[in-house]
Amino acid sequence: QAYLSYSNIAALTHLAGKPGWDITKTLDNVSVKIWTHEEGAVLSFKVEMQVKVPSHVAFSLLSDFSLRQRWDRHFLTCEVLQAVSEEEKIYHVTSGPTAGHQPRDFVILVSQRQPCQPQEPYTVAVRSVTLRAMPPCPEFCRSEILCAGFQIHSNSSSSCTVCYFNQVTSGVMPYLAANLTGSSKSIEDTALECIKFLE
């Protein structure tokens, strides 16, 4: 478990630090920017949000995944399966069907870390895990999250930059394909809902 948790945080930190991110979209009010990164067959995206709350407040709200349904409509249900420690929880998440696909579910480990140094970000890292107590069930297509999560950088005592990362797998692709080609605004809408929720 300690290894999984460490590698969860390390994978997100590594993804965030990669060179070669391309900005694909800036919303009119510049509070949201969307970036993509391609490496072989792996597509990653980053959503950067300017939020008018202190970084520690954003961290406490975003690290509690039971609140996620309040701003992310892709989350239908989210329940804690196991509280591994104060900083790690395993959740079962379900999401609704997309065109031509059955509803999906995920078993995820969420690891949270506070910064050790003032310039470091708060981190909330997410990855899929397997849990014997929660085997795949027929009504859902069990999907995998390779690496996702948030980094929260403090800008001032009352504002922060929240960056959401996701390394896209085929399991997440149906939700994003329409968006990245510009025919759907789900990433932007979710980002704006997230800002509204945090503020």
Q: Which helix (H) or strand (E) holds 164?
A: strand 159-168
Which residue spans within 31-87 are E strands per DSSP? 32-39, 42-51, 77-83
| Confidence at residue 120, expressed as pLDDT on a 0 to 100 scale | 94
| Confidence at residue 183, expressed as pLDDT on a 0 to 100 scale | 43
**Which segments of the chain have a pLDDT < 70?**
2, 28-30, 169-185
Which residue ranges form the domains of the chain, and what is each CATH number? 1-198 (3.30.530.20)
Residue 20: CB partners within 8 Å, gap ≥ 6? Answer: 37, 39
| Confidence at residue 70, expressed as pLDDT on a 0 to 100 scale | 94
Is residue 19 helix, strand or coil? coil
Residue 15: exposure state from Cβ atoms within 10 A (0-12, 13-18, ≥19): buried
CA atoms within 13 A on the CB side of 139: 3
| Confidence at residue 175, expressed as pLDDT on a 0 to 100 scale | 55
Query: What is the pTM (predicted TM-score) of this model?
Result: 0.89
Read off the pLDDT of residues 104-114 as tens digits, 9 standing for 90 and up. Answer: 999 999 999 99
